[in-house]
Structure 1
């Protein structure tokens, strides 16, 4: 079951990953066409991923990180920290950090 908290958190996560990809591509003046060619992801899909409107799968995320020279763990961790630091009125937790039921 999905609630609005999950949807907004997931969207924020995707937006943060996309922002990291865009920033790194801009830093190196890497075009979407170059990313598409280097990763094997279509240019249309690269565009959607970079805009945060398409969720990349794990292979695509890894490929983009690899060709942009960034650590996948760092990208995902930074996005996670951003989302976890956002305040939610009614967070829904099933398990706590130790894996115990809340």
Structure 2
């Protein structure tokens, strides 16, 4: 498995690729994160070309089992973040 890229490494790579400084790259990354968070938490979806689509999915109320006690309980409806990976990224990984 490849090493995990940290935020500092991502900022440095982004700065190098765009020809800007690390401060600007960090601000762009923070702004992107904020935009995605606001949009998805509001029920929308964000498509990052070549990467994928991030969206919110509603999960209905359901029965779950406590693994420690085996007790059945009802879990309330909630929302979760999902991501569909773009075909271009899948193809790049599998080639």
User: TM-score when scaled to structure 2?
Assistant: 0.28
Higher relative contact order (CA 8 A, sep 6+): 1
Kindly indicate which of the two structures has a greater share of residues assigned to strand. Answer: 2
Kindly indicate which of the two structures has a greater share of residues assigned to helix. Answer: 1
User: TM-score when scaled to structure 1?
Assistant: 0.26
